[in-house]
Copies of this chain bind each other. A is one copy, B any other.
Amino acid sequence: MYPIRILNLEQTEEVLEMKTVIKDIEEVYAMKSRGAGKLFPLVFHEFEPGVADMDIKSGLLEDAGIFGLKLVSWFSGNAEKGMPLLTGTVMVFDITTGKPLGLLSAEHLTGMRTGAAGAIGAKHLARKGSENLLMVGAGHQATYQVAASLIALDNIRKVRVYDPLLSDNTVSFAARIKSVLMGSFLSKYDPGSEDYETVAKKFDVAFEAVSDIKSAVENSDVIITATPAHKPIVSNEWVREGTHFSCIGADMSGKQEIDERIFSRARVFVDDIVQAVNVGECEIPVKKGMIAKDSIIGEIGDLICGSKEGRLSERDITIFDSTGIALQDLMVANRALKSAEEKNIGSVVEL
């Protein structure tokens, strides 16, 4: 028998902080580019189409010494039971012995790693000195995106928030985001520490709910989209030169957040080329011939490792299509386990 650590939602919230997660996710992308991170084939099953499904994403991170899986299920019938529709669980295993190391609730760590992904796209592709961030989508994921982007970028002064569906929600999101950032993200650092001071300063920006998406796009340097949209929300005509997009929402065939014509004007990076073309924001543009698969510059890890060039000029439009890969979950889960061990958090059970 051997001990495994189990972390529930609250415990993962307690042990993870965004600065480290951003570094970890950059490292994941780099490992994948170096061949030290590998994805295994996806298992997907629809119990009833449009009603309930589940997938198992798995892979290995050689340099982190782990392999494992995330199982995510979606049961629409949970709504009437007052339960979350999505349930996610991550299992981490030791790559030198095959022994399980831990079992974690995936909800918060998925939020963290996805926020980090959008921010890393912006960090490596947006114009230096970018001041205006547009957050498209004011749902659960938007908080993570805003937190991570403010931490990863140095010069943001204003965050506009737009949501195609929920205008009231957008206003309330903009009104409460600062206190959420303080309570859920800044609070992870010791007051007075350098991290605390840096992050506090970065969170000190203006937030505005907007209803005029055209004007917001025209006035933004960095645009992050995190919606469940199946039709473009951002039109090609509104997009000025120099804009960066981190497209987060598309993770299933048929989803699309931005006008496919933008792709023919842009330098495009993805997290995983196969997944991006199959189910990501790249799917529709590739199918419609707006961009050839071969014209995608590369995976973001290639950029981080220096084997591909990102932005070439201030006038480039850049896109990072993040579909989300299991390696992100495994890395952040492993970080949570290590941090929990140090802090003696979670349940340790002999398996």
Contacts and interface: CB of A to CB of B under 8 A. Distances in A.
Contact of A40 (B45, B73, B77): B45
A60 B45 CA distance: 10
Contacts of A10: 1
A176 B105 CA distance: 45
Contacts of A83: 97, 99
A75 interface: yes
Interface stretch (A50-58, A230-238, A278-286, A311-319): A50-58
B54 A81 contact: no
A100 B54 CA distance: 12
A165 interface: no
Interface string A62-95: 0000010101011101100101001101010101
Nearest to A104: B351
Given A40-B45, A60-B47, A89-B91, A52 B351 contact: no
A52 B98 contact: yes
Contacts of A58: 43, 56
Nearest to A62: B47
A67 B99 CA distance: 22
A49 B41 CA distance: 18
Q: How large is the interface on A (under 10, 10 to 19, 20 to 34, 35 or more residues)?
A: 35 or more
Interface string A138-171: 0000000000000000000000000000000000
A91 B56 CA distance: 12
A99 B107 CA distance: 13
Interface in A29-46: 38, 40-41, 43, 45
A148 to B, nearest CB: 25
B56 A69 contact: yes
The 5 closest A-B pairs by CB, nearest first: A73-B98, A75-B98, A87-B98, A347-B349, A40-B43
Interface of A: 1, 6, 8-10, 38, 40-41, 43, 45, 47, 52, 54, 56, 58, 60, 67, 69, 71, 73-75, 77-78, 81, 83, 86-87, 89, 91, 93, 95-100, 103, 105, 347, 349-351
Given A47-B95, A87-B97, A347-B347, 6 more contacts: A41-B41, A47-B60, A77-B97, A87-B100, A89-B100, A91-B91
